[in-house]
């Protein structure tokens, strides 16, 4: 076995061994060299706020979708394109920002992205009704701006915190996903009602984006890459982009967890755009309301309720996922992918029951939507943490970018449009009634629980490869050969740097 320092486990949840309570080394500071813990916490707080705006901006359009359809005179297929073109540009530009994020100043790239998406969102609110294609172009440009943020921001957190502190910071960061999505629905529905114009809903996040840009330039710091995972004087090994891609493509844990997260993206993307519209149509089909001639207020209750459910279920799901991961990981090295798989597999039947109950029993549908979204939200912080501790620091932005590309290309880039096209096809073959419209969208949305079942299987497969890939990433970051792994012998010891001091630790402690 090769000698030399091996990194402190990036996912270590404390200073004890796996399940036996044995201390392995003194605690390390959670901030990298040259950055105070207070500055690190402020940086993460600002990043969380910007991520909240990120997801608010994505789903404000979904909250006023019936009004957008009426204003531009489009059908379900065309309105589904709004989300598809956004996600498509978002995923195409993600590898570019991943490459830049691993090699250039990350703070400047973040400033550029936030300024772009805020300006384009504001401009999109002034598109005339005969220029729907201009709105599509605007949503594509918003995707360019947000690609820079989602690719780079998690890597800043990885370089600011380690161990349990990193897990908590990522939990707060990804808490903004459901919380921001829900606030997007709520803000969009309420601003539209107050202003009597859906376009005002698109003018909320640009104003908040100006504040985010100010905070980013004055508070956020760009920490040294891998500053917590190597001694201060150790060189950071770098490789070419082609080598990075080859290594990442052979990282089984990264590939499998990305496929699992792709299923989550497919489900959440489809629900985000179509759930309020489906609930609205189900209400009409059940004779519990009539559409208003101008379209105003007809979908407000559904968007508002769905937004509230998304916020509450997201807070519970992300918080529970991060806490369960922190508690179970020291005892079970496979805990993270098992939690993700269990969450997705549990969400699938809940979403199926929600679709079946929407017309005959709306309260039951909302209950099952809440349970399904809570279980789906278990994944957000855990999947991000898995990526960060199975990938070396110099490849994390690229890995984030590749995960974005795959999960969106096969997930929420196509699911809104696919569901809309299937719904249109089924509705054309049926009489033009409220019941037919609701039934067509219900059948199209059955794709979501099916995709969830596939994703659960991918996460369960990740559990088989995770411990070894984690150790490979730790050795590579320390400048050692990732292929020269120790034997699975509980008696073997390896050197682990703790606060810059090498400490002997059994291999089983590192793998746990």
Q: What is the 3-state secondary structure (H, E, C) of 58-79?
A: HHHHHHCHHHHHHHHCCCHHHH
Q: How many CB atoms lie within 10 A of CB 230?
A: 22
pLDDT at 13: 37
pLDDT of residue 234: 57
**Which H/E stretch holds residue 394?**
none
**What pLDDT, on a 0 to 100 scale, did the predictor assign at position 510?**
45
Q: What DSSP element (H or E) covers 494?
A: strand 493-498
**What's the pLDDT band for 29 if we cut at 50, 70, 90?**
very low
* Closest of 511, 489, 506 to residue 25, by C-alpha: 506
State how far the Cα of 61 lies from the Cα of 276, in Å rounded to an integer: 12
Residue 259 has pLDDT above 90, yes or no: yes
Question: How many Cα neighbours within 13 Å face the side chain of 143?
Answer: 26
As a whole number, the mean pLDDT across the chain is 78
Which residues, other chains included, contact 81 with Cβ-Cβ below 8 Å and sequence gap of 6+? 136, 417
Beta bridge partners of 498: 501
Residue 440: pLDDT over 80: yes
pLDDT of residue 67: 81
Average pLDDT over residues 149-168: 81
pLDDT at 353: 93
| pLDDT recorded at residue 75 | 74
Which range among 8-12, 174-178, 227-231, 430-434 has the greatest average pLDDT?
174-178
- Of the listed ranges 190-194, 220-224, 228-232, 281-285, the one predicted with least confidence: 228-232
- Give the burial string for 140-174 (b: 16+ CB within 10 Å, else e): bbbbbbbbbbbbbbbbbbbbbbbbbbbbbbbbbbb
Candidates 228, 233, 234, 235; CA nearest to 498 is 228
CA pair distance 463, 349, nearest whole angstrom: 23
Mean pLDDT, range 155-179, rounded to an integer: 81
pLDDT of 509 above 60: no
Query: What does each C-alpha distance from 260 to 178, 256, 329, 343 come to in angstroms?
Result: 18, 6, 19, 11
The phi and psi torsions of 130 (rounded to 5 degrees) equal -90, 5
Contact of 408 with 150, CB cutoff 8 Å: no
| pLDDT over 60 at 200, yes or no | yes
pLDDT of residue 348: 93
The phi and psi torsions of 494 (rounded to 5 degrees) equal: -130, 160
The pair of structure tokens assigned to 390 is: 């199975």
Contact assessment for residue 322 and residue 330, using Cβ atoms and an 8 Å cutoff: no
pLDDT for 487 equals 47
Q: Please give the pLDDT value at position 346.
A: 94
pTM over 0.85: no
Residue 163 has pLDDT above 80, yes or no: no
To the nearest 5 percent, what fractions of the chain are helix, strand and coil?
70, 5, 25
Say which residue, 483 or 172, is predicted with more confidence.
172
Map residue 501 onto helix, strand or coil: strand
pLDDT at 459: 95
What is the Rg, in whole angstroms, of the alpha carbon atoms belonging to the chain? 23
Place 253 in a pLDDT band, splitting at 50, 70 and 90: very high
When mean pLDDT is compared over 135-139, 272-276, 344-348, the highest value belongs to 344-348
Alpha-carbon distance of 418 to 330, in angstroms, equals 41
Query: Does 19 score more than 50 pLDDT?
Result: no
Read off the pLDDT of each residue in 71-81 and give the average, rounded to a whole number: 77
What does the buried/exposed string (b/e) look like for 401-418 if buried means 16 or more CB atoms within 10 Å of the residue's CB?
bbbbbbbbbbbbbbbbbb
In this structure, of 58-72, 125-139, 358-372, the range with the lowest mean pLDDT score is 58-72
Question: Considering the chain, what percentage of its residues have pLDDT values greater than 90?
Answer: 14
Beta bridge partner(s), residue 495 = 5, 504
Give the per-residue pLDDT at 127. Answer: 85
Question: Greater confidence, 226 or 132?
Answer: 132
Which residues, 6 or more positions from 94, have their beta carbon under 8 angstroms from its beta carbon? 147, 150, 151, 400, 401, 402, 404, 405, 408
Range of weakest confidence among 23-37, 89-103, 209-223, 377-391: 23-37
List, for residues 86-110, the tens digit of each pLDDT value.
877 877 788 888 888 777 788 888 8
**Higher pLDDT pick, 109 / 24:** 109
For 221-282, give the DSSP string: --PPTTTTSS-TT-------HHHHHHHHHT-HHHHHHHHHHHHHHHHHHHHHHHHHHHHHHH
Provide CB contacts within 8 A for 308, sequence distance 6+: 182, 186
Range of weakest confidence among 61-75, 129-143, 470-484? 470-484
Paired tokens of 451: 């995709």
User: Do 406 and 259 form a contact (C-beta atoms < 8 A)?
Assistant: yes
Alpha-carbon distance 112 to 152, whole Å?
12
pLDDT at 31: 52
pLDDT at 54: 82
With bands split at pLDDT 50, 70 and 90, how would you rate the model's confidence at 454?
A: very high
Contact 30, 491 (CB under 8 A): no
pLDDT at 153: 84
Report pLDDT for 255. 94
pLDDT in tens, 309-340: 888 888 899 889 988 988 888 888 889 999 99
Mean pLDDT value of segment 450-463? 93
- Looking at residue 232, what is its pLDDT? 54
């Amino acid at each position: 076995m090769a000698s030399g320092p091996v990194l402190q486990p990036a996912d270590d949840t404390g200073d004890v061994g796996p399940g036996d309570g044995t201390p392995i080394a003194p605690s390390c500071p959670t901030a990298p060299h040259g950055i105070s813990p207070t500055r690190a916490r402020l940086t993460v707080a600002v990043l969380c706020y910007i991520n909240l705006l990120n997801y608010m901006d994505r789903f404000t359009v979904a909250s006023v979708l019936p009004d957008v359809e009426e204003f531009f005179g489009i059908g379900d297929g065309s309105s589904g394109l709004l989300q598809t073109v956004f996600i498509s540009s978002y995923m195409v530009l993600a590898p570019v920002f991943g490459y830049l994020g691993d090699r250039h100043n990350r703070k400047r790239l973040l400033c550029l992205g936030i300024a772009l998406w805020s300006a384009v969102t504001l401009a999109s609110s002034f598109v005339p009704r005969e220029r729907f294609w201009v709105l599509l172009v605007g949503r594509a440009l918003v995707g360019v701006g947000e690609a820079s943020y989602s690719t780079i921001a998690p890597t800043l957190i990885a370089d600011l915190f380690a161990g349990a502190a990193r897990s908590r910071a990522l939990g707060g960061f990804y808490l903004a996903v459901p919380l921001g999505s829900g606030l997007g629905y709520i803000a969009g529905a309420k601003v539209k009602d107050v202003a009597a114009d859906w376009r005002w809903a698109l003018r909320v996040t640009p104003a908040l984006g100006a504040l985010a840009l100010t905070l980013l330039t004055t508070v956020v710091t760009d920490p040294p890459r891998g500053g917590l995972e190597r001694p201060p004087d150790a060189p950071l090994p770098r490789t070419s982009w082609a080598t990075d891609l080859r290594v990442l493509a052979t990282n089984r844990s990264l590939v499998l967890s990305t496929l699992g997260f792709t299923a989550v993206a497919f489900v959440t993307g489809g629900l985000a755009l179509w759930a309020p519209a489906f609930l609205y149509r189900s209400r009409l089909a059940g004779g519990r309301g009539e559409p208003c001639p101008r379209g105003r207020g007809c979908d407000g209750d559904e968007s508002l309720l769905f937004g509230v459910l998304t916020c509450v279920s997201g807070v519970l799901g992300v918080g529970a996922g991060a806490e369960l991961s922190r508690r179970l990981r020291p005892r079970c090295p496979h805990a993270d992918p098992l939690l993700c798989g269990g969450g997705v597999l549990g969400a699938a039947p809940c979403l199926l029951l929600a679709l079946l109950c929407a017309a005959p029993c709306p309260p039951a549908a909302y209950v099952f939507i809440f349970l399904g979204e809570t279980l789906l939200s278990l994944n957000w912080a855990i999947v991000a943490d898995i990526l960060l501790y199975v990938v070396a620091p110099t490849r994390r932005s690229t890995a984030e970018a590749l995960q974005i590309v795959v999960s969106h290309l096969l997930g929420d880039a196509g699911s809104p449009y696919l569901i809309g096209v299937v719904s249109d096809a089924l509705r054309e073959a049926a009489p033009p009634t409220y019941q037919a419209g609701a039934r067509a969208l219900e059948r199209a949305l059955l794709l979501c629980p099916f995709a969830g079942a596939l994703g659960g299987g991918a996460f369960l497969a990740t559990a088989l490869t995770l411990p070894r890939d984690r150790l490979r990433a730790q050795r590579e970051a320390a400048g050692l050969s990732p292929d020269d792994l120790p034997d699975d012998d509980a008696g073997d010891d390896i050197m682990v740097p703790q606060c810059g001091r090498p400490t002997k630790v059994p291999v089983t402690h590192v793998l746990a």
